[in-house]
């Protein structure tokens, strides 16, 4: 008997502390900021890749994030765009996705 095809689930951070812990523990992860450039330049998580949610496509994802098994840690301002981006990444076949939610109220250093 074969196993049914399983779509990987997206893990969602329950707190800023958990999100920060994921960033620190997952050294090979790509931290992905899905806000607009104007938001990104006002402050972002150190090392984050700017990838606005409305630019995510198969082609742009392949260019910026070619390894579909690399852990992705995705965030935005409030959590809505990161949830949408995680769904897009899931549809594109990424297997290790964590939604950090929004930066609004983020208590840690931004660059």
Q: Which CATH architecture has domain 11-102?
A: 3-Layer(aba) Sandwich (3.40)
Scanning 1-111, the segments in alpha helix (DSSP H) are 16-25, 37-40, 58-64, 80-91
Written as six digits, the tokens of 38 are 């104007």
Mean pLDDT of successive 10-residue stretches along the chain, which has 111 residues: 56 88 86 97 95 97 96 94 96 93 91 96
The pTM for the full model equals 0.88
Q: Tell me the helix, strand and coil percentages in the chain, rounded to 5.
A: 30, 15, 50
Report the catalytic residues: 76
Q: What is the pLDDT of residue 10?
A: 85
What is the C-alpha separation between 44 and 109, in angstroms, rounded? 9
What is the C-alpha separation between 103 and 57, in angstroms, rounded? 24
Q: What is the pLDDT of residue 3?
A: 47
Q: How many CA atoms lie within 13 A of 98 on its CB side?
A: 20
The full set of domain ranges for the chain reads 11-102
């Amino acid at each position: 008997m074969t196993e049914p095809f399983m779509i990987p689930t997206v893990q969602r951070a329950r707190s800023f502390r958990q999100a920060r812990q994921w960033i620190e523990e997952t050294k090979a992860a790509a931290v992905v900021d899905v806000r607009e450039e104007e938001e990104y330049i006002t402050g972002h998580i150190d090392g984050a890749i700017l990838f606005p949610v409305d630019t995510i496509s198969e082609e742009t994802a392949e260019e910026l994030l070619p390894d579909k098994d690399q852990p992705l840690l995705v965030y935005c301002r409030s959590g809505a765009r990161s949830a949408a981006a995680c769904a897009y990444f899931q549809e594109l076949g990424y297997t290790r996705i964590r939604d950090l939610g929004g930066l609004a109220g983020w208590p840690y250093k931004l660059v």
